[in-house]
Structure 1
């Protein structure tokens, strides 16, 4: 899908994910063949699918993210992949603890 409208760059591996339409972050990552932890099956309760949004502009954290993540993590761009909608070009980092 290199012609997708939305491009997600996944660091530290430099993988590119191309999406034709807005897609849930967890689904996009899994569909791209990248393993990521998700004990709660995307319900936002386990906190295992942590990613870091590296873009300057970040969407506000969801209620589930605010309950699981510390204020410092949120300020530093940490989010739960299952709570994200990839609807614009992004650069994300998947920490080894989420793999």
Structure 2
């Protein structure tokens, strides 16, 4: 699913306080990088953040699902990226907290 240009622009605005965010297209989506590390991606109208073993439970508790895609052999789940909980898009301060955790997870990977 292609990344929505309008949604990517909105996410850029929300993440601007993080400083030097680089972004660009990849595999039909849009990658977000900080310090050269991809910490987020947008597919369609969904923002996904990079997770690790310590941050994944918070996403699961909120009901977030990992990024997934279909192949001829079935569905593949990419468990290192989870959908950002929808309420974060209405709370920029909390979105930045979760984004910083994603940056840390990406840096540590």
Q: Please confirm whether the aligned pair reaches a TM-score higher than 0.5, indicating the same fold.
A: no
Query: Relative contact order: is structure 1 or structure 2 higher (C-alpha 8 Å, sep ≥ 6)?
Result: 1
Between Structure 1 and Structure 2, which shows a larger proportion of strand residues?
2
TM-score (norm 2): 0.33
